[in-house]
Structure 1
Amino acid sequence: MIQYSFDDKVAIVTGAAIGIGFEIVKQLCSSGASVIINDIDSAALEKATTIIRNQGGKCNAVLGNSGDLGTIQKMVQKAVREYGKLDFVVANAGITTFGNFIDYKPEDFQTLTSVNLQGSFFLAQAATKQFIKQKTGGRVIFMSSVTGHQAHPKLAAYGMTKAALEMLAKSLSVELAPHKITVNAVAPGATLTERTQSDEGYKATWEDITPTGIVSTTKDISNTILFLLSDSSSQITGQTIVVDGGWTSVSPPPNEM
């Protein structure tokens, strides 16, 4: 892993108590950044915050649904209050709801879009207002998915939200460039997390259909995020980086689906 220096940088990462989000926070803090960690699970959030602080990292927690506008304001306000500014936002939080299109329920659609779209859109908006106020520029990262590129069984609604985030990154890259704000997305493929590793067949199934024969880890995704937050990526904006071991090049679905 390349070791970046994010001394004096301040970030918000949503959905960050476990999995990809937690790895992003760990890497940011180990590189010198101060991080506002958000999650909806109070126990997991407390555990994550304790681990980061025990490792010498600087972080503060904001409990709440990342799709809630009040929670979004609390995150930005806490970043500024605790650390004096805001530099990075990683809208990592997202939920997945499986379901056939014909039977998909409106309440499931509202729950899905409130987090995946509303939360990401308005967190980016709140952060942008702070970036402009500071006149310092900034970085915004949206978490997409390979399902925003390739059709996947029973994930029409989810895939739609992820494709929308990639279009949002492209649109905002133009609108926010005059303010020295870059906006990009990362689209993970199959990734080993606490949730996916609870499925005994997950790793073997995805290794079999991934060209590299390797399932991504949370570090693979986090490494990409940190690159996009670094000065090395200053000319990259409006883009989506797919991290999937080549799966979207061939796109075979898992056998069980």
Structure 2
Amino acid sequence: MQLSDKTALITGAAGGLGRAIAERYAREGARVAIADLNLEAANATVNAIREQGGEAMAVAMDVTDEAAVEAGVAQVIQEWGRLDIAIANAGIQHIEPLHTLSFADWRKVISVHLDGAFLLTSAALRQMYQQESGGCMLYMGSVHSKLASPLKAPYVAAKHALLGLCRTVAKEGAAHRVRTNVICPGFVRTPLVDKQIPEQAAALGISEEAVIRDVMLKDTVDREFTTLDDIAEVALHLAAFPTAALTGQSIVASHGWYMQ
């Protein structure tokens, strides 16, 4: 198994992409901490992993709360003694044109994606730097780390910013054997994306079918959504990669929506 004896913490892991990655990591031998704002849902994911023979724990975590992030990381270290992989995955979305977007809604999206990533990074690096083996920081970016779309200004801005954070961690962390990369999915049918479909339909004055066909999938090579399994596979590859040959990079998995 590719992650035997590794300990991973994933934010926003009670569902969607985070859960898919957690389940895949557990099948590959990792101990997985399911960090989420919704502790009940996190426990349900933990139970599902344990039923399949994996090792997992639930951690209540608001990624915008410094004390909560510090306490959650400390809980994982106390339980398992180390932290090998940390994934800043928690995210939200807000659909609205810039000229009517409130500062409060801008800040809310930026805080979850970018502030949350910083807080996890800071806490995780302090532990990884103490470990002879270092560690792996991963960030859940998006094709919107590369491109912009209408109605998503704070999300696009935050996802672009994660590239800069990742690259800085790659430079600073190298001396401590810490690698870091950004995963950039295309549209995946998670609750976050499903919520956007009617919102974009209303904002653009088109049908939900048209949002899927003419907005979300129009630039893919096969008109297919990226899948949870696709992203879990990329996350596994990046976590298991053995050297710093692959660090500070952004890996796009989008059915050709964005090619670099």
TM-score normalised according to structure 1 size: 0.90
What do the CA deviations read for 1:38-92 (whole angstroms, capped 9, x no partner)?
1112332221111111111111111131221122112211121111111000111
Could you tell me which residue of structure 1 aligns to residue 205 of structure 2? none
Could you tell me which residue of structure 2 aligns to residue 25 of structure 1? 22
Structure 1 unmatched runs, 5+: 251-257
Mapped pair 1:41 → 2:41 = no
Mapped pair 1:222 → 2:232 = yes
CA distance in 2, matches of 1:22, 1:204: 27
Shift of 1:138: 0.5
CA distance in 1, matches of 2:185, 2:253: 5
Q: How many residues align?
A: 247
Shift of 1:180: 0.7
RMSD: 1.9
Change in 2 beyond 3 A, CA 1:137/1:97: same
- State whether residues 62 and 74 of structure 1, in contact with CA within 8 Å, keep that contact through their aligned partners in structure 2: no
TM-score normalised according to structure 2 size: 0.89
Structure 2 unmatched runs, 5+: 198-207
CA distance in 2, matches of 1:119, 1:194: 20
SS of structure 1 residue aligned to 2:252 = strand
CA distance in 2, matches of 1:249, 1:237: 19
Q: What pairs up with 1:17-166 in 2 under 5 angstroms?
A: 17-166=14-163
Aligned-pair identity in percent equals: 32
Could you tell me which residue of structure 2 aligns to residue 253 of structure 1? none
Structure 1 residue runs of 4+, over 6 Å off?
Answer: none
CA distance in 2, matches of 1:203, 1:216: 13
- State whether residues 92 and 142 of structure 1, in contact with CA within 8 Å, keep that contact through their aligned partners in structure 2: yes
Could you tell me which residue of structure 1 aligns to residue 247 of structure 2? 237
1:156 partner amino acid: A
2:223 partner amino acid: G
